Amino acid sequence: MESIYGYIRVSSHDQNEDRQLIAMQQMNIPKRQIYMDKQSGKDFNRPQYCYMVEKLEKDDLLYIASIDRLGRNYNEILEQWRVLTKVKEIDIVVLDTPLLDTRRGKDLMGTFLSDIVLQVLSFVAENERRNIRQRQAEGIAAAKEKGIKFGRPEIQLNEGFEEMVEAWECKEITVNEVIEAFNISESTFT
């Protein structure tokens, strides 16, 4: 008997997966068969995805909200699609793209059309990932030009710090004495 699965992916922990979850619930997918990863789609080394693929058996059905939720790497999307549909022999439904429903059009023309759509959408997904990275790099460069600093703020140390470090290096005082004197953490000091 075939099982129905759903796969959800968001790129980071602060992104919301509710839209995808609602779509899966509307397809009546049991909650225990919905797998979700919160990480980049640059590759398929995602724990829940890998666990789900191991569970998939012939004639199972996998729902995905959109092709970019599967991944954002053109070649890897095409390879995973091949593994899922040809090796695992499951059906896939991409909810926002009716042409990407492997239950329909299993003849040569249907397969040809789905392959073209899959290639175009996989290209778009990877291209969007590249655009996001480019926009991010441009934003960081513009912020740096304006003098915005990234990372932890620099700690302003009081006079006498260098002497205390020398004393610590000579084992005349302890780490605790230094961090207490300057109100810093041990990891900041070491």
Active-site residues, by number, are: 11
One DSSP character per residue, 33-88 reads GEEEEES-SSSS--HHHHHHHHH--TT-EEEES-HHHH-S-HHHHHHHHHIIIIIS
CB contact at 8 A, 179 and 189: yes
One DSSP character per residue, 52-65 reads HHHH--TT-EEEES
Q: The tokens of 97 are what? A: 């793209």
